[in-house]
Amino acid sequence: MLTVGLAAGIALLGGTPATAETAPGCSRVTQIGATKILKGGGETIASIKQFVGCDKNYGYTYVWESWASTHRGFDAGAGLWVKGTGDVQGYNVDPKNDREVWSDGLRTVNKCTKAYGAVGRGEIVYAANTEERC
């Protein structure tokens, strides 16, 4: 019942929920922490999530169809902010208009991490982190 309600709620918002189940190179991942909704210019742009599986952490960015359909030519990226390193690691950018991107899997399950996602065109880039998970 909760799944139906969530899907209906997202449909009313004009978006599509991310249905990621597998990361590249890992057949079973589990989301950790809350989903961060990336907004910009008064619009919902993307969902950013962090996953764990195969002794690795993964960042994940999913661009909502409602935004993608009116903003052609965008790039989407995903990475992991690892506490103590001062930067985003494992960052990947997918080709133009690709709505789903995974970071590299990093062996950081014993460290504090945040998923980092970015979406944009040219110099206009929207970005956000999920909450820190240790």
The pLDDT assigned to 21 comes to 61
* Gap between the Cα atoms of 128 and 21, Å rounded: 22
The pLDDT assigned to 123 comes to 80
- Report domain extents, the chain: 20-129
pLDDT tens per residue across all 134 residues of the chain: 333 333 333 333 444 444 446 899 998 999 999 999 999 989 999 999 999 999 999 999 999 999 999 999 999 999 999 999 989 999 999 989 999 999 999 999 999 999 999 999 888 899 999 999 99
Q: Which two tokens stand for residue 93?
A: 């950018």
* Gap between the Cα atoms of 134 and 129, Å rounded: 14
Query: What dotted CATH number matches 20-129?
Result: 2.60.40
The pLDDT assigned to 35 comes to 97
The pLDDT assigned to 16 comes to 44
The pLDDT assigned to 95 comes to 80
